[in-house]
Structure 1
């Protein structure tokens, strides 16, 4: 064992002192390893990214949120109201603040609380407000921007967030008092099925990276073998040559670790301010977990040594040359089939889980996916060699490609193993997401054809509520408003303690509005109706017990539990007609007492909730933004929602966004790895290519042969990926109790892998032309 470190060190020395050829080989190995290590560091940073973003989110939450503590007015207290809006599909969050003392609590990222009429905005929001695109948003946020929110007060660098000062806040209008920031956001646990999907996604995205690193450390095999033969000639034994070769790979991987760290540091600065779908993070957030980083730093050099030693078993290094077995040793198939079978078995034998049930141990899910994808990677070299072994004849380009594959089919298979694993994993993930899609993306009963925006506000004044409906109808781009003023109505009288007082809802709206909410044959101002829910006898009973024509109802429910408050009695006219409710644009059925403005003076209602469902003219640009501007002018805390017939689970959408981002990074790495591998193989065959050109072989034939050498393994790999990915997808769906909904999902994914190969081949043609020059015949 004392010899091995010296032999590894000797190999590392050869890697960096072998002249220009040695440096090129070492740099290509380091480049390949570095790309993989950079992505591994990025993956190891995800826990810190989530933790840092969550900590910043908790730090800016007012301490009153989710707390039962009753804050009293003090020198450090302030009032706040959470406000939010949407602009051109982007969510904008914010807080309205009003200090109550000389030293109020200051939110993170600020030095002082904004004064009334002033606003502190995030850099991304300031950029939007200063741009021509933010003209309508400036009207909605009519505050003077006096400060920028620091990183400590933002979830990510592209977040749109603001703090604004307001002197209109009061506890009577719904504001809340606090004296500190640093609450805790209530976070829902990730759905068990999404946990399984996330685990499989991580395996699928990282497996190609690991395979590429294992392939990169084998670059430069032919030149290395000739040098090892020279070492045998001067007295080295077989074991020593293997460890020296491992030392060369170790040097390339060590340099690759340094390049990977550089790539990672540069990459995080470049992507720190970029948003991929809903994902963005500060550069400092990309800090690898220490344990995972140490694991990468130890595993990559160890893998380089182990892979090289394993590869050298099939190479006989003799003093007069290298013999790669005249009759190649036949690859064993049984253990290659055992790996994917074991992976599918682990998933198949795992207890079933559903969306509302516990899922199996994530470690089992990861183990099953790793075994399956590793088995596919080991099957590909055997499949390539078996497929090309009996191929004969054809054009010159085809014969050159086939002969090269027959001599080194395993190397060609390993070069495209990353694509095979990536396509197989993508197929299984697509099958799984499609299978569970219906559980997380549901069709609602909302009707966007009748209205597109729903606005809800709590007002202490019915008069103000009525004005809100008027303002919406006067807004540019609005075609119609289904506007109502609602308040609870109870049956007056004394009721024994414990007995439930009959209660219903009074809805006030004009005839056009009421006809959208109930089946009313005729209507004019001054009419009243008793509306029953369709087919619900229990609720109809409560309506009849409360809404009795000719008798009074109490419209101020605070008097029911506060004796000091005088009831506000209103008599339901005897002329009130019965009607049946119909779904409104939000898909809700309203019932109770329906009245027109001529029957009830909404200005006298002590408290009322106002709701408006707005239909906009789609031909008017930014009509929805004009509606939101009107809502913000009335009350910034007003709730404005888009009416949509599709309801997408936020956790599911978040997982999908992360999956897309990771898939882009992985596909870029695979394309780069293929290009580096292709250039390395061409460089190793430079002399052979020059000889073929010297003997009269057309350059176009050589270019086509390069294409065929890549295309044949890729086609076989895609076929293997389709079979393996489909089997893995079926097993994953069975584990979560779902069935396959589409058996043809593999078609676009298989096409993506094929296109990637064509692009890489085209990019490798310029180096090919340079390598076919006559000076490639020179040798020493």
Structure 2
């Protein structure tokens, strides 16, 4: 049985919390408005927190489906059997959209089946994702239907898709052979995809910081809406006998009344918002609504910590309240704001970030991730901490001026706390938005410059495995007949290495290094003349480019290995080949390391060497086309698919980054604007409460003939001064943080002028918004009736 004192304490807490909730619910229209605004702020914060907590599960689900439908991590192929199949990649691009393709050829009657597929398609048939099915059926999909010349036999289920908007297909060619294929006996594995690039990791971390930091500040601000009226009500309770602990419990109940509905509304907003997940694609990441699910522990923590934070902030706000007759609440004598700890926060953030800049290129490690997130948050919170000191320092030195200006400055000198608390949310939101937009703009500018430099000459590169030179000739002929193609050249490239000592076969476990290597290009005399200056050329000749000795000593009569080992333990049999003694020297036309040119060590004509003896001979085709020809690029891709659907493309004709970065930038800008408007709404509530507190003074001014326009201008200046100072701090912090991040990722430091101007304009709009909504209550309070005293 519980002790009586404990039961009484629990009953007192329950009674006082319930009383506080009744006070919050029965505060009239203004009370309901304050409660609704508090709930809206908490709901926004809870929704963002739940979204942030869902990111790990989201990425795990996305990557898990990718691993389950591939065969990763294997080093050796299984032998042909009844339960194996040949599996090849046949990815393509259609008007900038990436299309994942996989070709299969069963070895027996019981081949493995990937997730989302009940039965493999038959020869000449394919299974498609719902998004690809719709694209193929659309009027604009005619060229794609020509490329994917298979009959649609079904739809891939959700288990086999990374996301609902993914374009993917699984097909079986009618031809009996399948080039560039790997034999597998099951799907799934322990392999991992390519790591996320460092700039993308920095962007993800900073986006989370930029979203969560203002939300945390806004939650702390929103639960203090109506604080002055709450203090007056608690003062009245003190006058009728309530002690300090009782008033604190009642204040906690009022805070809970706004935070608990906000918690429920935030969960509902999150559940409704995640239904929009299929409509959003960022860096080819598109997920199902069910993937956006926070972990149980994170959900419980958010459900407990958000109301607890609301109560803590409310109790913190009550620490300086005292009671005087007539129920007036006055804070303790103002304490001079100390600067040292406010400067220490951004200084600590900079101390965490600057060493990361020196460690270029930035590496994605857990320590660096924590340092980046902590440093950015300390910088943003430091700006919030600096704002109250800056406002006091500035308004404390202002003297004179017009009457509206003096009224506004005097009000801020007496109590700048409510205004700076509301504006601090604006400061953090704008600073974070500027930093993230600078990072996005710098990354987008780097991609745009790279694509612009590489795309001056319209060209496409194709490469794929090849068996003989006639196969390359057929590909060249087909490409030259493609609409829009102006020039095509192609060679067969391969690596050669030194012959192992004694010509022995390499076996697994033989501790012999792979050794140096050289690059050989095989092509007709016309193709070789495009690579090097040749005095004369006949089929059967070999040319040394003068780069011999760079990695492998090459000379006429030298015997090399056409089947070199890739690794030290690679079990392959050497294929010796002797460079003809009649080999001549030739100078490359482009000996530099330009991205489009390879430093070949050896040039050979098809009759000089058997392409079938190379371990991995690759056809390298370079196509130039006419941009004015409609869909020239898609016609080239269709031709490449007919030549070999597993052929790979390397081109800069499609820049997917522009649309992706632009969508992210627009979304972040819209989110920042919405946050600013919500914070402006809180500033309206704070301003109107100050009017109610000063209603006798306003009535006295009206009785003495003060014009309403004078007080209207004073409201404008009272709002403008903290907002302008906050925007100044936000600009400085955002630009500094953005420059640090861009330097960290090696991107050019570029200021996103439209966003900076847009944020500044939005801040000015918030000033006008607050002023316009504050004037009607001001006019109502400026009446002689306000001088009456009961």
Report TM bin, short chain. 0.7 to 0.9
- How far the C-alpha of 1:627 sits from its partner, in A, is 1.0
Question: 2:272 aligned with 1:266, yes or no?
Answer: yes
- Rounded to whole Å, the distance in 1 between the matches of 2:504 and 2:604 is 30
- How far the C-alpha of 1:506 sits from its partner, in A, is 5.2
Matches within 5 A, 1:319-718: 320-325=326-331, 328-345=334-351, 353-355=359-361, 360=367, 362-395=369-402, 398-399=405-406, 401-425=408-432, 448-449=455-456, 452-485=459-492, 496-497=503-504, 505=520, 507-511=522-526, 513-520=527-534, 528=541, 530-534=543-547, 536-538=548-550, 541-546=553-558, 578-580=586-588, 582-583=590-591, 586-595=596-605, 609-642=618-651, 663-664=668-669, 666-681=671-686, 683-684=688-689, 706-718=715-727
What secondary structure is seen at the aligned counterpart in 2 of 1:116?
A: coil
Q: Kindly tell me: are residues 433 and 667 of structure 1, through their superposed partners in 2, closer, same or farther at Cα, counting changes over 3 Å? A: closer
- Rounded to whole Å, the distance in 2 between the matches of 1:283 and 1:349 is 39
Q: Kindly tell me: are residues 730 and 79 of structure 1, through their superposed partners in 2, closer, same or farther at Cα, counting changes over 3 Å? A: closer
What secondary structure is seen at the aligned counterpart in 2 of 1:240?
A: helix
- How far the C-alpha of 1:162 sits from its partner, in A, is 1.2
Deviation sequence 1:679-727 (CA, Å, 0-9, x none): 4235536767996899987777666555544432232123323454566
- Rounded to whole Å, the distance in 2 between the matches of 1:133 and 1:380 is 55
2:36 is aligned to 27
- Rounded to whole Å, the distance in 1 between the matches of 2:456 and 2:673 is 42
Deviation sequence 1:742-774 (CA, Å, 0-9, x none): 5x8486665343122234345557745664675
- Rounded to whole Å, the distance in 2 between the matches of 1:196 and 1:556 is 42
Deviation sequence 1:304-328 (CA, Å, 0-9, x none): 1111111112332445122334954
- Check the 8 A contact 1:220/1:680 in 2, yes or no: yes
TM-score, normalised to structure 1, is 0.82
- Rounded to whole Å, the distance in 2 between the matches of 1:383 and 1:94 is 59
- Rounded to whole Å, the distance in 2 between the matches of 1:752 and 1:130 is 41
- How far the C-alpha of 1:84 sits from its partner, in A, is 0.3
- How far the C-alpha of 1:248 sits from its partner, in A, is 0.4
2:223 is aligned to 217
RMSD: 4.7
- Check the 8 A contact 2:283/2:660 in 1, yes or no: no
Q: Kindly tell me: are residues 601 and 704 of structure 1, through their superposed partners in 2, closer, same or farther at Cα, counting changes over 3 Å? A: farther
- How far the C-alpha of 1:258 sits from its partner, in A, is 0.5
Deviation sequence 1:493-513 (CA, Å, 0-9, x none): 9965489999873521352x3
- Rounded to whole Å, the distance in 1 between the matches of 2:363 and 2:28 is 62
- Rounded to whole Å, the distance in 1 between the matches of 2:666 and 2:320 is 40
1:227 is aligned to 233
Question: 2:54 aligned with 1:45, yes or no?
Answer: yes
1:550 is aligned to none
- Rounded to whole Å, the distance in 1 between the matches of 2:716 and 2:760 is 12
- Check the 8 A contact 1:32/1:673 in 2, yes or no: yes
Q: Kindly tell me: are residues 696 and 114 of structure 1, through their superposed partners in 2, closer, same or farther at Cα, counting changes over 3 Å? A: farther
Q: Kindly tell me: are residues 182 and 388 of structure 1, through their superposed partners in 2, closer, same or farther at Cα, counting changes over 3 Å? A: same
Question: 2:328 aligned with 1:311, yes or no?
Answer: no
- Rounded to whole Å, the distance in 2 between the matches of 1:490 and 1:606 is 11
Match of 2:87 among 36, 58, 80: 80
- Check the 8 A contact 2:518/2:551 in 1, yes or no: no
The gaps in structure 2 that reach 5 residues or longer are: 1-8, 506-511, 566-570
Deviation sequence 1:407-451 (CA, Å, 0-9, x none): 442211111212322444456667888999999999799965556
Question: 2:258 aligned with 1:244, yes or no?
Answer: no
Question: 2:22 aligned with 1:13, yes or no?
Answer: yes
Match of 2:152 among 139, 145, 148: 145
Q: Kindly tell me: are residues 321 and 198 of structure 1, through their superposed partners in 2, closer, same or farther at Cα, counting changes over 3 Å? A: same
- Rounded to whole Å, the distance in 1 between the matches of 2:751 and 2:449 is 21
TM-score, normalised to structure 2, is 0.81
- How far the C-alpha of 1:27 sits from its partner, in A, is 1.4
- Check the 8 A contact 1:80/1:169 in 2, yes or no: no
Question: 2:720 aligned with 1:720, yes or no?
Answer: no
2:509 is aligned to none
- Rounded to whole Å, the distance in 2 between the matches of 1:377 and 1:503 is 60
- Rounded to whole Å, the distance in 1 between the matches of 2:363 and 2:611 is 51
What secondary structure is seen at the aligned counterpart in 1 of 2:764?
A: helix
Q: Kindly tell me: are residues 732 and 636 of structure 1, through their superposed partners in 2, closer, same or farther at Cα, counting changes over 3 Å? A: closer
1:133 is aligned to 140
- Check the 8 A contact 2:498/2:564 in 1, yes or no: no
- Rounded to whole Å, the distance in 1 between the matches of 2:322 and 2:561 is 99
- Rounded to whole Å, the distance in 2 between the matches of 1:437 and 1:183 is 35
Deviation sequence 1:85-108 (CA, Å, 0-9, x none): 112222111211233433432221
Q: Kindly tell me: are residues 437 and 626 of structure 1, through their superposed partners in 2, closer, same or farther at Cα, counting changes over 3 Å? A: closer
- Check the 8 A contact 2:491/2:521 in 1, yes or no: no
- Check the 8 A contact 2:127/2:155 in 1, yes or no: yes
- Rounded to whole Å, the distance in 1 between the matches of 2:654 and 2:110 is 48
Q: Kindly tell me: are residues 709 and 147 of structure 1, through their superposed partners in 2, closer, same or farther at Cα, counting changes over 3 Å? A: farther
Match of 1:294 among 261, 279, 300: 300
What secondary structure is seen at the aligned counterpart in 2 of 1:313?
A: coil
Q: Kindly tell me: are residues 727 and 578 of structure 1, through their superposed partners in 2, closer, same or farther at Cα, counting changes over 3 Å? A: closer
Deviation sequence 1:354-381 (CA, Å, 0-9, x none): 4377864644544444333323212212
- Rounded to whole Å, the distance in 1 between the matches of 2:370 and 2:612 is 63
Q: Kindly tell me: are residues 707 and 38 of structure 1, through their superposed partners in 2, closer, same or farther at Cα, counting changes over 3 Å? A: farther
- Rounded to whole Å, the distance in 2 between the matches of 1:695 and 1:341 is 51
Deviation sequence 1:23-68 (CA, Å, 0-9, x none): 2221111011101111111011101111110111111013xx4313
- How far the C-alpha of 1:147 sits from its partner, in A, is 2.1
Q: Kindly tell me: are residues 745 and 710 of structure 1, through their superposed partners in 2, closer, same or farther at Cα, counting changes over 3 Å? A: farther
Question: 2:773 aligned with 1:760, yes or no?
Answer: no
What secondary structure is seen at the aligned counterpart in 2 of 1:115?
A: coil
- How far the C-alpha of 1:537 sits from its partner, in A, is 3.4
What secondary structure is seen at the aligned counterpart in 2 of 1:302?
A: helix
- Rounded to whole Å, the distance in 2 between the matches of 1:36 and 1:557 is 59
- How far the C-alpha of 1:269 sits from its partner, in A, is 0.7
- How far the C-alpha of 1:351 sits from its partner, in A, is 11
- Rounded to whole Å, the distance in 2 between the matches of 1:740 and 1:623 is 33
- Check the 8 A contact 1:60/1:153 in 2, yes or no: yes
2:288 is aligned to 282
- Check the 8 A contact 2:542/2:579 in 1, yes or no: no
- Check the 8 A contact 2:478/2:639 in 1, yes or no: yes
Matched pairs, number: 756
Q: Kindly tell me: are residues 760 and 716 of structure 1, through their superposed partners in 2, closer, same or farther at Cα, counting changes over 3 Å? A: closer
